[in-house]
Structure 1
Amino acid sequence: MTDRCIFSCFVDPETVDNVLDCLLCLEYVSGFSTQKIEGYSKEHASYSVSEQVAGYRSVCRIDIQLLVSEVDDLTVALAELALQHKIRYWVTPALAVGTI
C-alpha cells in the first residue's frame, strides 16, 4: 500500500493551457499525462448546439500522481485560476507505485 493517489481532472479545451501552466509551476507535481476524451453528461444545458447534436463534449483528462496529503493544495491551486468552466475531478488510491 502507498500514500499516493491519482488525481484525475476534466478540463474544457478553452482552459486547458491555463491548467497545464499551473501544474507545471507546482513543485509537488513531478509530472502528469493528458488525453483528449469525449465527455457525456445529463447536464446538456451547458453544451453548445453542436455538442448537443453529437451528445458529448470534448474535454481534456489530466492524470496526476501525487501524495494524498497534497490533494487539498492542488484543488486550492486550481480553484485560484478562477476559470470560466468548472473542473470536475476524482481521486483514486494508487495501490502500488514504481518503475520497472
Structure 2
Amino acid sequence: MDEQQLLTLFIDKAIEADVVDCLMLLEDISGFTVSQCFGYSHSHSQFNIAEQVAGGRQLLKVEVLHSDKQTQSILSALKSTHSRSRIRYMLTPSECLWLYHRIALWQALFQLWQFIWGRGSLALYFLWH
C-alpha cells in the first residue's frame, strides 16, 4: 500500500516559475500549494543588506502531498530544472501528517478566537445569545 508523504520545499522567489512549471508537468501529483514564509539562518553571507539587517529572508514554501513511491521522481524532476539557487526540502511521513493537520486546525481556531476578541464584546454578545 502506498503511504502518503508531504514534501515541503523552501525556495527563493526568483525560481518560483521554474519550480511551479516543473511540478505542473508531473502527472503523478494531483496538486500542490505555494505560500510565503520568512527564513532565518546563522550564515548571512548570501543575504543582501536588507536581509542581513532583518536577520532573515523572504522564501516560498511549496507543499506537495504525494505517494512515497513518487518521492524520487519528484526530486529528480526538480533537480533537472538547474535552478539558479539551492532548493531545500524536507519529507514528512504519513505517521506525522495527523499532527501536522491538528496543528493547522488549532492555528485556525486561534486566529478565529483572536478575530472575535478583536471585535470587542459585541461579537461575544452575538455568539452567546
User: Under a length normalisation based on structure 1, what TM-score does the superposition of the two structures give?
Assistant: 0.90
Size of the aligned set, in residue pairs, is 97
Show structure 1 runs of 4+ deviating over 3 A: none
Whether 2:55 is the aligned partner of 1:92: answer: no
Name the CA distance, whole Å, in 1 between partners of 2:20 and 2:94.
Answer: 22
1:83 is aligned to 83
1:47 is aligned to 47
Superposition RMSD in Å: 1.7
Name the CA distance, whole Å, in 1 between partners of 2:30 and 2:82.
Answer: 23
> Shift in Å at residue 49 of structure 1?
1.1
- Which consecutive unaligned segments of at least 5 residues does structure 1 have? none
> Shift in Å at residue 2 of structure 1?
6.1
Name the CA distance, whole Å, in 2 between partners of 1:80 and 1:43.
Answer: 27
2:11 is aligned to 11
User: Under a length normalisation based on structure 2, what TM-score does the superposition of the two structures give?
Assistant: 0.71
**Whose RCO is larger (CA < 8 A, sep 6+)?**
1
Name the CA distance, whole Å, in 2 between partners of 1:20 and 1:48.
Answer: 25
8 Å Cα contact 1:2-1:94 kept in structure 2: no
> Shift in Å at residue 17 of structure 1?
1.0
Bigger Rg, structure 1 or 2: 2
Q: Deviations over 1:14-46 (max 9, x none)?
A: 001110011011011211111100001112111
| Larger strand share, 1 or 2 | 1
